[in-house]
Amino acid sequence: MHTADYFIQKLEMTPHPEGGFFKENETSSDHTLVTNDETGTSKSRKLWTSIYFLLRDGEVSNFHRLESDEMWYYHAGSSLTIYVITPEGELLTKELGLDMEKGEQPQVLVPKGTIFGSAMNKEGFALVGCMVSPGFVFEDFELIDRADLLENYPQHKETIKKLSMETT
């Protein structure tokens, strides 16, 4: 049985700004034009990018938002809970794992523009893959401040406190 440290070392993972560890592992050689709905400006993005992502026991991926869809794939370890706040303010939870009898799914889509994070709610670690399309760039990454989340979604106070930090 492999450990979290085994995967962090063998996959050459580094700390991620949102929490956990990651390693970019694949990127598309193709590009696509992405148009900003608000400004009408276009920018070129890789068609898709992919990373390994790992959380250890008790770790979280803090609430953040992307301008692209992100598909999560389970690889190894314990299941992982993905929390999504929809634009309408609804809190959804999805279990990423292989025990489908307990409601886990081997892959989960997080739609662009939603606020999301993840947490280890079981002992152990979770090694997952995340593919973003159009491809991920850090300028499209927004870490959401706890105070802003609490102001906009006070009904989700407990989850927000668990999956956020003060950024200002």
What's the pLDDT at 160?
97
Indicate whether 21 belongs to any domain.
Answer: yes
Residues 6+ away with beta carbon under 8 Å from 44: 31, 32, 33, 34
111 lies in which domain range? Answer: 4-118+126-163
User: What residues pair up with 121 in beta bridges, in sequence order?
Assistant: none
CATH number at residue 133: 2.60.120.10
Q: Considering the entire predicted model, what is its pTM? A: 0.92
Instruction: Using the CB atoms, write b or e for 30-43: b if 16+ within 10 Å.
Output: eeeeeeeeeeeeee
Indicate whether 18 belongs to any domain.
Answer: yes
Which band of pLDDT confidence, cut at 50, 70 and 90, is reported for residue 119?
A: very high
Residue 168 has pLDDT above 90, yes or no: no
Q: Please write the tens of the pLDDT for every residue from 28-82.
A: 999 999 887 778 889 899 999 999 999 999 999 999 999 999 999 999 999 999 9
Exposed / middle / buried, residue 64 (Cβ in 10 Å: 0-12, 13-18, 19+):
middle
Indicate whether 113 belongs to any domain.
Answer: yes
- The domain total for the chain is 1
Indicate whether 91 belongs to any domain.
Answer: yes
Indicate whether 12 belongs to any domain.
Answer: yes
Indicate whether 34 belongs to any domain.
Answer: yes
Q: Please write the tens of the pLDDT for every residue from 84-112.
A: 999 999 999 999 999 999 999 999 999 99
Indicate whether 168 belongs to any domain.
Answer: no
